[in-house]
């Protein structure tokens, strides 16, 4: 369906309540009255012709006079995108109907909006703050936020939290065995806190508590220039730092309609894939550790170090690269780059069978991972679990194929897909992607054209007024950047739709009924990075 | 011929009897055995920890400790000093008595088994005529320490670790016991020195062919599980339970748990060496007199430690290669596979003995 036909259809559904948004926008957008939102969303999701089954992004925004919520919807079948924008009538007690009954993944996103903007979602199953503590005063992302929150030095009791009280009250309080996993726990891969209730060894409920590394990156971005923002994005998903950088740069370039030199596009694509390989190698490492196979750690760290050495030679940094800048890349390639990358590909191809011999083929490993934590295709879409975890459930969600950026449209590669959706499929999918990435690099490495490595940009970038959305495929999935500009040198609002946040929402659903050891395997196989969740 | 250590011990006994009354002789001898045992215990512990670190490093394409002393050999001394000088933290809310007793129970259980091992002819603290039975009895004491330690620590992780360990050790003891019985039936004696002497014309692994081989494999798996070593280290599964039952222990108390784990691994390997590989008995093949005489030139103590450390190395190989099992898989392995196999194997062994189909 064309954009116009889509808009016409929606306008016909709710006349008077919906208006086409004429603002500069990446996607067709509609302004919806708050009271008509839920009905319209249901219509858009359940109608065969529209079939918006994937909630790409849900963001709050402070428009000054009132507060808004913006929904980016996408249909996995038809591939079209629609933006719904709604507003609360006032900002003292703002309420909007929840859509978490239609898209399960919206539950976490709506909690984030409540936490940051104070918009209460009616009929939401669990309307609590998600990043800030219960005692936090004010809503940080509002433009008029001035509350001073004194530092509390006393320890918060482990059971004083509203969410945990809810868990404990399920049965007789003495019978529920509640365990805190984290924030300091070897297997949560960072400062994530999972509160789980157990029945013997079996996990009953899992309640993620985020926010231990919440730095308010979105708030900080509102006071930084676009070149400065690039460096902050490194700190979200630090394992795909380069790809995060790109997301913002691509968004700015799209808004300014800058033509990035072909050489820069090639360099970015190759670096993208190297980053993905490095990230998947780290996944292999940590996943083995989670299952008690400690030897994996050193094997893939050895290979990953080659990539980090290449990074270091290219741009000076090993982990948080900040190699990309709006318009291209910071510096030209090092003369050794091509030779070292080719050496690495040869080395990696030689090592991969070794990896499979050590871990993938092991009987204990297969017993621990097959048929554990099965995520169905429908749930993957509904939760918005993208990236390798989504593709392991049979969902073709690779942004490199859907919305190709850089030179991905010119590269010949197969999107890795598995349909089992269990831990083993998620693991094997990443191993498949290692090979895919190596193939992509191999196709490009000899073809890097000569020319400029960056387009000429103004020292102070002013993005023209409008709203822009850019998706990239990080090693963890669909990273979306939603940029609202009012023509200033700072963004008015910058929202990151991080893949990890949506993936985390699926964790409680996947773990129910499995053992503690499976919880570790499942969370390991989802491969989230905590700063990416918290931002 | 093979040197008999009982000559040395009996001459020492005579010497002491000539200067002291019998009761005091007994006391002095007990003290000497205790000191020798403790020293051997500590030294072995250090060697094992060093070996583990080096073996693990080589499996993981690393070098392991190599800074303190030549090849890092003094690292162990440094670690020991560190453990000895660290503060003994007692968390609030623990059951103080049980919390303090648990490490001692564990180390005591290891030490009791250690005392019965025959290191060479005539070189063991005590040679029971029910030696194998005694080993079974004392090695099952360790689980008491684990359960108490986990329970008394007043921590949910330690309780889960302790419960896992309890289920695991109790289950796998069945298989260990059944393989003991299989080999005792073959040897016709429970006395450990008798079992070793019976292997003078060939180790049981070869003499008992098929059933002995099955018993050997089952014993290796089950004793690894009983010692809570990876891939059966669910009780301390560091990626799930931090450190399992000894999460709350520090300093010397932690060292006791740590030492006991390594010694249990050694004891398991030593028992396997004694029951299947002839203990300190050199490699003898039937009536090949010349070959047997050459083998006798290698001292028995070298044979004993050689075999034991080979098996220890195999256990380490397990740990650094395999992922960890899950608790239900662990129990399935024991109750549905190892135990029926062991029962069948016992039957097979009995038939073979009765029909005389062994070497």
Tens of pLDDT along A191-220? 888 888 888 788 888 888 888 888 888 888
Considering CB atoms only, which of A289, A292, A358 is closest to B231?
A292
Whether a cis peptide bond, with omega within 30° of 0, leads into A183 is yes
ipTM attached to this prediction: 0.82
Q: Is A235 exposed, middle or buried (0-12, 13-18, 19+ CB in 10 A)?
A: middle
pTM of the model: 0.87
Does A190 lie at the interface with B, CB-CB under 8 angstroms?
A: no
Q: Which residue has the tokens 């003499």?
A: B207
With an 8 Å Cβ cutoff, are A291 and B239 in contact? Answer: yes
Identify any residues that bridge with B205 across adjacent strands, giving them in sequence order. Answer: none
Whether the per-residue pLDDT at A171 is higher than 60: the answer is no
Distance to chain A for B170, nearest Cα, Å: 18
Rounded Cα–Cα distance for residues A485 and A492 (Å): 5
Per-residue confidence (pLDDT) for residue A155, from 0 to 100: 64
Tens of pLDDT along A345-379? 999 999 889 888 888 888 888 888 888 888 888 88
User: Which residue in A has a C-alpha nearest to residue B329's C-alpha?
Assistant: A367
Considering CB atoms only, which of B156, B321, B325 is closest to A295?
B321
User: Which residue in B has a C-alpha nearest to residue A372's C-alpha?
Assistant: B326
Considering CB atoms only, which of A187, A292, A302 is closest to B323?
A292
Per-residue confidence (pLDDT) for residue B128, from 0 to 100: 82
- Mean residue pLDDT of chain A comes to 85
A3-122 and A217-499 share one fold:
no
Given pLDDT bands bounded at 50, 70 and 90, which one contains residue A90?
confident
Which residues lie closer than 8 Å to A512 by C-beta, 6 or more apart? A203, A204, A205, A206
User: Which residue in B has a C-alpha nearest to residue A197's C-alpha?
Assistant: B156
With an 8 Å Cβ cutoff, are A292 and B242 in contact? Answer: no
With an 8 Å Cβ cutoff, are A358 and B160 in contact? Answer: no
Does B320 lie at the interface with A, CB-CB under 8 angstroms?
A: yes
Per-residue confidence (pLDDT) for residue B1, from 0 to 100: 61
Does B92 lie at the interface with A, CB-CB under 8 angstroms?
A: no
Pair type for strands A477-485 and A466-474: antiparallel
Which of A511, A495, A477, A472 shows the shortest CA–CA distance to A188?
Answer: A511
* B203, two tokens: 């180790």
**Chain B residues inside the 8 Å CB shell of A515:** 326-328
Mean pLDDT on A436-460:
87
Say whether B333 sits in a helix, a strand or coil.
Answer: helix
User: Which residue in A has a C-alpha nearest to residue B326's C-alpha?
Assistant: A517
* B158, two tokens: 């330690």
Does A158 lie at the interface with B, CB-CB under 8 angstroms?
A: no
Does B317 lie at the interface with A, CB-CB under 8 angstroms?
A: no
Which residues lie closer than 8 Å to A139 by C-beta, 6 or more apart? A115, A116, A117, A118, A145
| Cα A177 to chain centroid, rounded | 32
With an 8 Å Cβ cutoff, are B323 and A289 in contact? Answer: no
Per-residue confidence (pLDDT) for residue A277, from 0 to 100: 92
User: Which residue in A has a C-alpha nearest to residue B235's C-alpha?
Assistant: A517
* A390, two tokens: 């989504």
Rounded Cα–Cα distance for residues A328 and A282 (Å): 27
Task: Return the beta strands (E) in A271-336 as ranges.
Answer: 324-325, 328-329
Put residue A339 in one of left, alpha, beta given phi > 0 → left and psi -120 to 50 → alpha: alpha
Mean pLDDT on A291-308:
88
Domain borders along chain A are 3-122, 217-499
Per-residue confidence (pLDDT) for residue A102, from 0 to 100: 86
Mean pLDDT on A58-65:
86
Per-residue confidence (pLDDT) for residue A160, from 0 to 100: 60
For residue A501, give the DSSP letter: H
CATH class of residue range A3-122: alpha beta
With an 8 Å Cβ cutoff, are B160 and A359 in contact? Answer: no
Say whether B319 sits in a helix, a strand or coil.
Answer: helix
Does A522 lie at the interface with B, CB-CB under 8 angstroms?
A: no
**Chain A residues inside the 8 Å CB shell of B236:** none
With an 8 Å Cβ cutoff, are B239 and A367 in contact? Answer: no
With an 8 Å Cβ cutoff, are B326 and A298 in contact? Answer: no
- Whether residue A96 contacts residue A110, with contact meaning beta carbons closer than 8 Å, is answered with no
With an 8 Å Cβ cutoff, are A295 and B60 in contact? Answer: yes
**Chain B residues inside the 8 Å CB shell of A517:** 234, 237, 240, 324, 326-327
Distance (Å) of CA A118 to CA A60, A86, A114, A115, A137 = 10, 15, 4, 6, 11
With an 8 Å Cβ cutoff, are B326 and A288 in contact? Answer: no
Task: Tell me, letter by letter, the H, E, C secondary structure of A241-280.
Answer: HHHHHHHHHHHHHHHHCCCCCHHHHHHHHHHHHHHHHHHH
User: Which residue in B has a C-alpha nearest to residue A366's C-alpha?
Assistant: B323
Tens of pLDDT along A17-40? 777 777 767 788 888 888 888 888
**Chain A residues inside the 8 Å CB shell of B230:** 292
User: Which residue in A has a C-alpha nearest to residue B62's C-alpha?
Assistant: A298
Pick the residue of B240, B327, B328, B329 with the most A CBs within 10 A to test the interface with A by mutation.
B240
Rounded Cα–Cα distance for residues B267 and B316 (Å): 14
Identify any residues that bridge with A496 across adjacent strands, giving them in sequence order. Answer: A481
Given pLDDT bands bounded at 50, 70 and 90, which one contains residue A136?
confident
**Chain B residues inside the 8 Å CB shell of A284:** none
Does A514 lie at the interface with B, CB-CB under 8 angstroms?
A: no
**Chain A residues inside the 8 Å CB shell of B156:** 177, 179
Per-residue confidence (pLDDT) for residue A280, from 0 to 100: 92
What pLDDT tens digit does each residue of chain B (359 aa) get?
667 777 787 888 888 888 888 888 888 888 888 888 888 888 888 888 888 888 889 888 888 888 888 888 888 888 888 888 888 888 888 888 888 888 888 888 888 888 888 887 777 777 888 888 888 888 888 888 888 888 888 888 888 888 888 888 888 888 898 998 888 888 888 888 888 888 878 788 878 778 888 989 999 998 888 888 878 887 777 777 777 788 888 888 888 888 888 888 888 898 898 888 887 878 777 777 787 777 778 888 888 889 999 999 998 888 888 888 888 888 898 899 999 999 999 998 888 888 887 77
Distance to chain A for B144, nearest Cα, Å: 20
* B310, two tokens: 């080979």
With an 8 Å Cβ cutoff, are A302 and B61 in contact? Answer: yes
Pick the residue of B167, B319, B323 with the most A CBs within 10 A to test the interface with A by mutation.
B323
Whether the per-residue pLDDT at A174 is higher than 70: the answer is no
* End-to-end CA separation in angstroms for chain B: 24
With an 8 Å Cβ cutoff, are B327 and A201 in contact? Answer: yes
Per-residue confidence (pLDDT) for residue A157, from 0 to 100: 58
- Whether residue A129 contacts residue A108, with contact meaning beta carbons closer than 8 Å, is answered with no
Which residues lie closer than 8 Å to B85 by C-beta, 6 or more apart? B251
* A397, two tokens: 């969600």
Per-residue confidence (pLDDT) for residue B341, from 0 to 100: 92
Mean pLDDT on A233-246:
88
**CATH code for the structural domain at A217-499:** 1.10.645.10
Q: Which residue has the tokens 């918009």?
A: A119
Phi, psi of A57 (to 5 degrees): -155, 140
Rounded Cα–Cα distance for residues B111 and B38 (Å): 8
Distance to chain A for B63, nearest Cα, Å: 12
Please report, rounded to a whole number, the percentage of residues in chain A having pLDDT higher than 90: 8
Does B18 lie at the interface with A, CB-CB under 8 angstroms?
A: no
Interface size between A and B, measured as CB pairs under 8 A:
77
Per-residue confidence (pLDDT) for residue B241, from 0 to 100: 77
Rounded Cα–Cα distance for residues B237 and A449 (Å): 52
């Amino acid at each position: 369906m064309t954009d116009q036909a889509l808009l016409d259809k929606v306008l016909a559904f709710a006349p008077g309540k919906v208006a086409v948004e004429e603002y500069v926008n990446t996607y067709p957008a509609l302004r919806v009255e708050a009271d008509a939102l839920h009905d319209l969303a249901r219509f858009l999701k359940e109608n065969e012709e529209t079939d918006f089954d994937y909630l790409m992004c849900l963001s709050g925004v402070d428009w000054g006079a009132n507060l808004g919520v913006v929904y980016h919807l996408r249909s996995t079948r038809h591939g079209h995108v629609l933006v719904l924008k709604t507003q609360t009538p006032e900002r003292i007690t703002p309420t909007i109907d929840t859509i978490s009954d239609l898209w399960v993944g919206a539950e976490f996103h709506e909690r984030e909006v409540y936490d940051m903007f104070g918009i209460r979602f009616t009929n939401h199953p669990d309307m609590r703050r998600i990043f800030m503590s219960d005692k936090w005063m004010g809503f940080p992302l509002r433009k008029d936020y001035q509350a001073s929150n004194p530092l509390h030095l006393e320890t918060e009791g482990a059971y004083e939290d509203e969410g945990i009280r809810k868990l404990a009250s399920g049965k007789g309080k003495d019978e529920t065995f509640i365990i805190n996993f984290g924030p300091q726990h070897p297997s949560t891969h960072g400062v994530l806190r999972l509160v789980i209730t157990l029945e013997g060894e079996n996990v009953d409920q899992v309640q993620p508590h985020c926010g231990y590394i919440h730095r308010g990156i979105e708030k900080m971005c509102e006071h930084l220039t676009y070149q400065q923002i690039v460096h902050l994005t490194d700190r979200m998903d630090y394992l795909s730092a380069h790809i995060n950088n790109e997301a913002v740069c691509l968004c700015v370039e799209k808004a300014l309609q800058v033509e990035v030199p072909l050489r820069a596009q090639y360099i970015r694509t190759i670096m993208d894939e190297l980053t993905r390989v490095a990230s998947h190698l780290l996944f292999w490492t940590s996943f083995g550790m989670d299952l008690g196979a400690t030897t994996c750690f050193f094997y893939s760290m050895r290979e990953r170090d080659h990539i980090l050495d290449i990074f270091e030679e290219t741009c000076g940094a090993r982990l948080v690269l900040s190699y990309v800048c709006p318009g291209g890349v910071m510096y030209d390639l090092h003369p050794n780059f091509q030779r070292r990358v080719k050496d690495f590909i040869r080395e990696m191809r030689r090592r991969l069978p070794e990896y499979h011999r050590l871990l993938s083929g092991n009987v204990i490993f297969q017993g621990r991972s097959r048929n554990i934590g099965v995520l169905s295709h429908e749930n993957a879409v509904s939760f918005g679990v993208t990236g390798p975890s989504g593709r392991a459930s049979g969902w073709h969600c690779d942004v490199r194929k859907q919305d190709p950026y850089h030179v991905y449209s010119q590269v010949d590669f197969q999107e890795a897909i598995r349909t089992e959706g269990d831990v083993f499929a998620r693991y094997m999918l990443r191993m498949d992607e290692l090979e895919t990435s190596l193939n992509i690099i191999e196709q490009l490495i000899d073809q890097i054209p000569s020319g400029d490595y960056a387009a000429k940009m103004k020292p102070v970038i002013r993005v023209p007024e409008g709203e822009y959305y850019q998706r990239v495929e990080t090693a963890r999935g669909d990273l979306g950047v939603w940029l609202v500009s009012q023509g200033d040198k700072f963004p008015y609002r910058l929202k990151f739709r991080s893949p990890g946040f949506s993936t985390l929402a699926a964790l409680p659903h996947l773990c129910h009924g499995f053992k503690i050891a499976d919880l570790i395997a499942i969370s390991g196989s989802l491969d989230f990075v905590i700063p990416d969740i918290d931002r | 011929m093979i040197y008999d250590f009982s000559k040395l011990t009996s001459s020492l006994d005579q010497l002491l009897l000539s200067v002291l009354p019998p009761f005091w002789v007994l006391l002095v001898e007990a003290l000497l055995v205790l000191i020798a045992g403790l020293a051997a215990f500590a030294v072995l512990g250090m060697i094992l920890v060093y070996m583990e670190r080096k073996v693990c490093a080589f499996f993981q394409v690393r070098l392991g400790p190599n800074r303190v002393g030549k090849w890092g050999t003094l690292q162990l001394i440094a670690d020991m000093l560190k453990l000895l000088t660290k503060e003994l933290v007692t968390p609030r809310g623990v059951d103080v008595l049980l919390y303090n007793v648990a490490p001692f129970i564990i180390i005591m259980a290891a030490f009791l088994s250690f005392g019965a091992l025959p290191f060479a002819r005539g070189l063991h603290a005590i040679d029971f005529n029910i030696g194998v039975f005694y080993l079974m009895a004392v090695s099952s004491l360790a689980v008491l320490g684990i359960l108490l330690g986990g329970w008394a620590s007043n921590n949910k992780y330690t309780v889960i670790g302790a419960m896992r360990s309890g289920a695991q050790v109790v289950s796998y003891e069945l298989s260990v016991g059944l393989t003991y019985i299989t080999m005792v039936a073959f040897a016709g004696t429970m006395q450990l020195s008798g079992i070793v002497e019976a292997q003078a014309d060939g180790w049981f692994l070869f003499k008992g062919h098929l059933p002995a081989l099955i018993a050997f494999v089952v014993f290796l798996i089950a004793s690894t599980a009983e010692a809570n070593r990876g891939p059966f280290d669910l009780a301390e599964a560091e990626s799930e339970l931090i450190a399992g039952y000894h999460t709350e222990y520090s300093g010397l108390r932690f060292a006791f748990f740590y030492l006991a784990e390594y010694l249990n691994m050694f004891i398991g390997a030593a028992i396997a060496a004694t029951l299947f590989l002839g203990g300190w008995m050199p490699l003898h093949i039937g009536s090949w007199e010349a070959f047997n005489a050459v083998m006798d030139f290698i001292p028995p103590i070298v044979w004993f430690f050689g075999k034991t450390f080979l098996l220890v190395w195999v256990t380490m190989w397990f740990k650094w290669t395999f992922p960890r099992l899950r608790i239900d898989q662990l129990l399935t392995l024991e109750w549905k596979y190892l135990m029926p196999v062991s029962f069948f194997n016992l039957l097979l062994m009995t038939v073979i003995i009765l029909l005389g189909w062994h070497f």
